[in-house]
Chains A and B, each alone.
Chain A
Amino acid sequence: MAEENKVTLYGMWSSPYVKRVELALRLKGIPYEYVEEDLRNKSQLLLKLNPIHQKVPVLVHNGKAIVESLVILEYIDETWKTGPQLLPEDPYKRSQVRFWASYLQQVSESMVSVLKTSGEAQEKAIKEVTEKLKLLEEGLKGFFPNGFPNSFDTENVGLLEVVICSHLGANEAQEEALGVKVITPEKTPLIYSSITALTEIPAVKAASIPQEKVVAFLKFFREKALKSSAE
């Protein structure tokens, strides 16, 4: 790969924010080098590329670093015209995609709260995430008034679908780790069917992590969080 066009992604395998960027690169057929970072022992290079936040993902293109996953996704969409267009042409539709992608992040953060708590605190977190999922379900109806297509073409995958996949794609693993179901065909039919259809797309399947590994990671993450909040 010529140095000028070289694309490198610095990431961590379990981060949904990194997954967003990975999916976008794969869907657009952009060749890239992936570098796994150990977030407990950040490399000097990562600290140099992202001095302000010191986080992953970091995309390096033409020797320049871009950080913050949504910023990276828009950069990718504006720079490479191959593959699906992540954002629609129409400014109003674009604003809606950006709004719901941002809201999905809030839903995801609420789910992390469920993972990190137990007892009463967890019940409260479950209530909060259920409320947010209801609003998300309503919002998605605006994009899919006739329900989610059973088989989703790669060409139609956009930014919103990428974010759904990245954050909610491991839904089954989360249910297994927690024993709590918040996304179901009865309560959240559109969200549920979107996850089912999207995780079948070849580019998404190719990037997916085996369920056991995700479950083990989530259980470990939960134990650690409960332990540190008890101290």
Chain B
Amino acid sequence: MEDKVVLLDYWPSSYGMRVRIALAEKGIKYEAREENLADKSPLLLEMNPVHKMIPVLIHNGKPISESLILLQYIDEVWHHTSPLLPSDPYQRSQARFSADYIDKKIYSLGKRVWKEKGEKQEATKKEFLEGLRTIEGELGDKPYFGGEDFGFVDVVLVPLTSWFYSFEICGNFSIEAECPKLVAWARRCMERDSVSKSLPHPQKIYAFVLELKQKYGL
């Protein structure tokens, strides 16, 4: 029986991009369904009744949600190609820790930095950059977070880089000036098809941000 894989997604979502990259890395064929988050489909509400959010992977009719859980699921099911997590338990724990840190201290702040203004924005910017500097420290001089090979933590972090341009314009700062190694790492990741084909162009994200700002008076 052939595997049926459906991904419920939303093009600007950096969480959705993580799953796109993982599926591409593993060469998995899937049907991509774009959701309109202002008008969620009955399928989305049925497949993710708890959070009603994308991304949701439907594998042979069974739904899996939450991007980090999804990445591990994909890695475990399709374990014969391009492993994302290392095999050593201690190294796996370090990768999981970094992924958790990225969600709590980088993604969560990125979501706010383009929306806020004045003093509040300055405080968020400061925390956001601290998070980036910390994760840049984890990268060190390695080509990828996992070492020589592109892996789990790279997949978890790289999608947010498509939003960097928008953060910089809205927040009036330069990420490259603060974290040059991280920006170099992002460029290195973009050389991979799985990444360049999964991330929208930063200008497209910025146009989307401007639309949202206008629509919601942000």
Contact = CB atoms under 8 A, between A and B. Distances in A.
Given A74-B96, A75-B90, A75-B93, A92 B62 contact: yes
A102 B66 contact: yes
A95 B72 contact: yes
Given A79-B89, A92-B62, A95-B64, A71 B73 contact: no
A135 B134 contact: no
A71 B69 contact: no
Given A92-B62, A99-B69, A102-B69, A71 B90 contact: no
A103 B89 CA distance: 24
B177 interface: no
B93 A98 contact: no
A139 B200 CA distance: 35
A99 B66 contact: yes
B100 interface: yes
Nearest to A67: B97
Contact of A78 (B49, B69, B89): B89
A153 B49 CA distance: 31
Contacts of A94: 72-73, 76
Interface residues of A, number: 25
B77 A139 contact: no
Given A68-B96, A102-B69, A139-B50, A92 B64 contact: yes
Contacts of A138: 49
Contacts of B76: 91, 94
B115 interface: no
Contacts of A227: none
B93 A74 contact: yes
Contacts of A71: 93, 96-97, 100
19 contacts: A62-B90, A66-B90, A68-B96, A71-B93, A72-B93, A74-B93, A75-B92, A78-B89, A79-B89, A94-B72, A94-B73, A94-B76, A95-B69, A95-B70, A98-B66, A98-B72, A99-B66, A103-B50, A138-B49
Interface of B: 49-50, 59, 62, 64-66, 69-70, 72-73, 76-77, 89-90, 92-93, 96-97, 100-101, 134
Given A70-B96, A91-B77, A98-B72, 18 more contacts: A52-B101, A52-B134, A66-B93, A68-B97, A71-B100, A74-B93, A75-B92, A78-B89, A78-B92, A79-B89, A92-B62, A92-B64, A92-B73, A94-B76, A95-B64, A98-B69, A102-B69, A138-B49
